[in-house]
A and B are shown apart, each in its own frame.
Chain A
Amino acid sequence: MHHAARRYGGLFLLGALAVVLAVPPVPTSAQAQQVAVITSFPKELFDAYKAGFERANPGWRMDVVPKPTSAAITHVRERAARPDVDIFWASAVDAFIFLKTNNMLERYSPPAEFRRGIPDQVAGFPINDPEGFFHGFAVSGYGIMWNRTYMARHRVPAPKEWEDLVKPAYFGHLVISAPSRSGTTHLTVETILQGYGWQKGWELLLQMGGNMGAITERSFGVPEAVIAGQYGVGIVIDFFGLSAIASGQPVDFVYPSVTSIVPANVAMIKNAPNPEGARRFINYLLSDDGQRLLFKPEIARLPVRATLYSEAPKGMPNPFTMKAGVQFNADLSASRYQVTNRMYDQIITFRHAELKRAWEAIYRAERAIEAARAAGRDVADAERLLAQARASARYVHVSERMAAEVSGGMERDAAYRSAKEREWGEVARASYVRAAQLAGQAEEILRRR
């Protein structure tokens, strides 16, 4: 045995013991002066509010349980009998509606001083739950962000509207997150469906799907990929774009004319262990100080207090003067929540490879037709095949009426849901494979002559 080791060993043990004794253990037991917040928001946001809340409420401590929205709902549901969190704090309105209908939220009406200057609606969307179960504290719109360096490198033009994104120039450069995994993307998809109508909306989504380079699992994966330059153009909620711009990243952001503006919310959990803390937290969020924190560059969200916009930093849009292209219908969105998400997954996310191949073949055939036309050749047959290919690549199997019919059954019956899902997925796969074949034939007949 090494001699020095023996001596140092003892010293090390003593030192280790000293460290353990010196570091104050993390307080664990429930204290009177605290509030526990479960949230899907990123660290920049909840850190800023933790610091702000504890400063504004001396003697109070705020604990944070960070979880993706779906896991957060499970957390609250499993502990409904004996909750260990006081506040549910997230973007997606659907999550709050779910918790409210399942009787897991507590009604709260903030004092008048915290409600002044907050309109009832933003762009036609109610800011607060009419029955007082949850409260909007910030609003967000949806849009497109892109990386300038990437666009220059790949010679891709900057987009302005959703329709721009279906152009061949964007093939392989787009990135989105799956709406079934990200509440914010679900709202974007629903906005497009409501803005363009079911049929045209899905056609647009399918064609955009063909141009996607990737479909990520979580919403933040999109800005991350765009910021790093892995992909050029991302479909994101505004604060991802605005905060990236504010932190000096080489990105831009635009609201297309078809956008909707919806609030991010906060609610008190039923039977919260610290109701007083929960009330203080909601009050703080709605106070002038709490609202101003949203303007911080790393947060970059839009306050619900309309009167604060005179203090807004440069480049921060005012949603109360902005014209939203879509009057977002939250009830319609909630009624077909399952259908929309499952459908997107089955026909786009899970069939991305086939869809991408179909549109790649279509773009190739388009170029061949252009070349043949320029050479003065007859392209009528090829164009007919190409038109069939396009129709097949954006074939919408489920009509709006059908969606409404299956919606209830899909919510209730897992077997029915998986049967429907399988059907949609199979039809989609077959259509895309057929589209690629047709486009290939179009190219082929041009080559043969």
Chain B
Amino acid sequence: MSIPVPQQAPVRAPVGIRWRTSVDPGHAALALVLLLILGVFVVWPIAAVLRVALTGADGGMTLAHLFRFFENPLYIESLTNSLLAGGWVVVIGTVLALPLAFVVARYDFRGRMLVVTLSTLPLVLPPFVGAIALTQVFGRAGTITLLLQDLFGLHVNIMEGLRGIILAQALHFFPFIFLTVTAALMNVDRSLEEMGQMMGAHGWRLLRRVVFPLVLPSYAAGALLTFVKAVDDIGTPFILNFKNMLGPQAYLRITTVGRDDVDGYVICVIMVIISIACVVASNWIVSRREYATLQTGARQPEGGKSLAGWRSSVALGTCAAILGISLLPHLGVIVMSFSRVWSLTYLPSTYTLGHYAEIFLRAPRFILNTLTYSVAAALLGVVVAAAIAYLLQRGRVPGKGLLDAIAMMPIALPGVVIGVGFLRVFYTMTLPGTETSLASTWAIFVLAYMVRRLPYALRASHAALHQVHSSLEDAAAVAGAPRVRAFRRVVLPLIIGGVTAGGVLIFITAAVEFSTTITLVSRIEQSPLSYAIYIYSQSPLGRGAAAALGVVAIVIVALGTYLANRLSGRGRMAFTL
């Protein structure tokens, strides 16, 4: 997931040139193929979910099911909990992120780069992985809880119910707010501030009247994104065993009441509405404030008021305190993956390497499955995304905007909704010539992951292609190269880095995908590591192995993030989960 970026309008050729050339049959064929792929794997599943939720007993369209949702106390509670959790995640995320962003963007001190690097680390830890360890850190018998009890006689349990979920998600998602706000702060035109100063505004007033309005749109975009992701995440509630939220309820209805249960689909529709509302609001806020300067990623922080001596220590101390808390889940997962007995003690009393033996030697399938699905999804996604981006920018075919619109749709689709839609459409479909349902083959994971992350890959391809001026192709054409060869020899080498970065993005997000996975998975033999983490965590002595798999997930995501950043060019931090 990258920082939310306003959709850059593709640079358009003057109208005269656009209409001079007629429809290109090759492009048209490509567009048709892409439209078919997107139609089957994006539009159809969503349409199927909508259809079930909006069809009455007589077969006509009805909103009755949706209204009934609001009569069920459990669903109302779930809706409230989901919104409440999302809201609190934003609030806590803001409290953590703003001081950090302010200090990093405005001041120069020793250790600043380290702070920036560490502050993106929470993103490499999927929240449901962090949740495995959080009970051991903050729960009733957790390290921090025991410390507070023994040192100060304080009895607190932060992990109780919804609070635990909020904590786990806030610690994971706050970098979204941090990154957007840091980027915005650094892009604030210093001359505006100087003007403010000349006009007599200082200190708080200057901040309030000049800096805040400039940063607000990016903050709002980051906050809304955080909110959407928090509502979408069903892994954390599952690991922490809290079911009264929208995502878990949708999943539970579909799996325990049945695939034909209308309520499950209705909950999906409610989730989509929330999600779309946030995306629309975010776009509106960003587009309304035209003076807001946004770019594709935070630059390396540079400049700023130099701090030395005790001021520097204060800045660093603030950062260390915030980052210390946010890195506790990482430490917890790592310690837990080596722990054998950890009962009412600060740290485990007995250690073991057995959990790693389990996941690497006895059950290596989960990691292999994950690599297979994620790599395949990334390859597929890159090809589709690059083709769409190419058509969007160079294509001579009408209606290509539709391709873009459909490909970007999954950005507002919660993972569980995609899973439910896929199940609805592909469950009854069998592989040609066999009795095997399409939904029970591993290809379903590849397709679902590809669809889910297509918007990010498309954005990456778009940006990469955008940098290549079409005159280069024209030059190749003038020199006599056929179009395919011109693409291969001229364009491809120029865009491959950016496009691959998009692929790596799909890869790392697919590798830790939970919501869609749990909805689609059936046999443990096909399970990727995210579901395996859940299954391990469902036996009283299995959390160690779950944590070990969690460490593997962290390593995969961290390496992928590093690779994506290298590929997309230096000095950007845009490509993080």
Contact = CB atoms under 8 A, between A and B. Distances in A.
A47 interface: yes
B436 interface: yes
Given A2-B566, A5-B497, A228-B343, A65 B540 contact: no
A9 B365 CA distance: 27
A78 B439 CA distance: 14
Interface string B365-390: 10011011001101100100000000
Contact of B567 (A2, A23, A25, A66): A2
Interface string A276-293: 000000000000000000
B135 A13 contact: no
A231 interface: yes
A228 B139 contact: yes
B467 A1 contact: yes
Contacts of B437: 84
B486 to A, nearest CB: 17
Interface string B523-565: 1111000000001101111110000000000000000000100
Given A74-B256, A150-B344, A84 B566 contact: no
Contact of A43 (B343, B375, B440, B535): B535
A19 B241 CA distance: 36
Contacts of B434: 29-30
A220 B140 contact: no
A20 B440 CA distance: 19
Contacts of A26: 365, 369, 372, 442, 525-526
A1 B255 contact: no
Given A16-B379, A74-B257, A240-B540, A153 B500 contact: no
A26 B499 CA distance: 28
Contacts of A1: 464, 467, 494-495, 497-498, 569
B309 interface: no
Interface in A69-84: 70-71, 74-75, 77-78, 82, 84
A63 B372 CA distance: 19
A399 to B, nearest CB: 28
B436 A29 contact: yes
B341 interface: yes
B467 to A, nearest CB: 7
A16, A84, A216: most-surrounded residue (chain B CB, <10 A): A16
B363 A47 contact: yes
B570 to A, nearest CB: 6
B256 A28 contact: no
Contacts of A70: 256
Contacts of B243: 217
Nearest to A39: B524
B190 to A, nearest CB: 28
Interface string A3-15: 0111011101100
B524 A16 contact: no
B241 A217 contact: yes
B341 A250 contact: yes
A78 B141 contact: no
Nearest to A231: B140
Contact of A228 (B141, B503, B525): B141
Contacts of B501: 5, 9
Interface in A27-47: 28-30, 36, 42-44, 46-47
B290 interface: no
B348 to A, nearest CB: 11
Nearest to A42: B539
A25, A229, A273: most-surrounded residue (chain B CB, <10 A): A229
A230 B368 CA distance: 35
A390 B376 CA distance: 64
A6 B499 CA distance: 10
A99 to B, nearest CB: 15
Contacts of B369: 26
A8 B493 CA distance: 11
Contacts of A325: none
A2 B371 CA distance: 27
Contacts of B524: 43, 46, 63-66
A153 B344 CA distance: 9
A20 B375 contact: yes
Contacts of B376: 20
A329 interface: no
A19 B375 contact: yes
Contacts of B340: 247-248
Contacts of B494: 1, 6
Nearest to A221: B241
A415 interface: no
A307 interface: no
A2 B257 contact: no
B441 interface: yes
Contacts, number: 188
B136, B140, B536: most-surrounded residue (chain A CB, <10 A): B140
A6 B344 contact: no
B229 interface: no
Given A30-B436, A227-B541, A240-B540, A248 B350 contact: yes
Nearest to A6: B497
Nearest to A70: B256
B313 interface: no
Contact of B440 (A5, A17, A25, A28): A28
B135 A228 contact: yes
Given A12-B504, A43-B536, A247 B343 contact: no
A225 B136 CA distance: 11
B259 A5 contact: no
A47 B442 CA distance: 21
A244 B343 CA distance: 12
B80 interface: no
B428 to A, nearest CB: 10
Contact of B436 (A28, A75, A221, A249): A28
Nearest to B500: A9
Contacts of B543: 224
B258 interface: yes
B435 interface: yes
B431 interface: yes
Interface string A198-223: 00000000000000000011101101
A228 B342 contact: yes
A230 B259 CA distance: 37
B539 A220 contact: yes
A312 to B, nearest CB: 21
B568 A220 contact: no
A149 B341 CA distance: 12
B470 interface: no
Contacts of A240: 540
B344 A5 contact: no
A20, A248, A250, A273: most-surrounded residue (chain B CB, <10 A): A20
A149 B362 CA distance: 32
Nearest to B343: A229
Contact of B375 (A16, A153, A221): A16
Contacts of B368: 23
A42 B542 contact: yes
A239 B526 CA distance: 28
A298 interface: yes
Contacts of B362: 47
A1 B497 CA distance: 8
B275 to A, nearest CB: 26
A378 B258 CA distance: 62
A216 B379 CA distance: 42
Nearest to B495: A1
29 contacts: A1-B494, A6-B493, A6-B496, A8-B567, A10-B496, A10-B500, A12-B504, A13-B496, A23-B371, A26-B369, A28-B441, A28-B442, A36-B523, A42-B542, A43-B539, A44-B542, A64-B523, A64-B524, A64-B525, A71-B255, A77-B258, A78-B258, A84-B437, A230-B135, A230-B141, A249-B341, A249-B541, A250-B343, A273-B435
Given A9-B567, A244-B541, 10 more contacts: A1-B464, A4-B566, A5-B567, A16-B375, A26-B365, A43-B536, A74-B255, A149-B343, A230-B140, A248-B341
